[in-house]
Amino acid sequence: MKPERDIEKTYPKEEFIAKLRRLADCIESGEQFEIQIAGERIYTPVRATYSIEHEREGGSQEIEFQIKWDD
């Protein structure tokens, strides 16, 4: 079993757009999405589920695009 981790990485707008486009292309074509985050290569399986979360707390808001799956 891999150790737990919780990492958030900020990307310049152009890189973020490119990653979203790659993700959308993989979802649309039914292919596994692959990304490297903080030195670890992550492979998201085709069976993954996709959700969008909105959070509001104090004076800030957040939208998270989430991809979830079980190992």
Cα–Cα distance, 55 to 48 (Å, whole number): 22
**Residues contacting 7, CB < 8 A, separation 6+:** 37, 38
For residue 20, the model assigns a pLDDT of 96
39-62 confidence digits (pLDDT tens): 999 999 999 999 999 999 999 999
Tokens, residue 50: 């996709």
* Helix H or strand E encompassing 37: strand 33-37
Cα–Cα distance, 44 to 23 (Å, whole number): 10
For residues 23-34, average pLDDT: 96
What pTM value is reported for the model?
Answer: 0.83
What are the residue boundaries of the structural domains of the chain, listed by start? 13-68
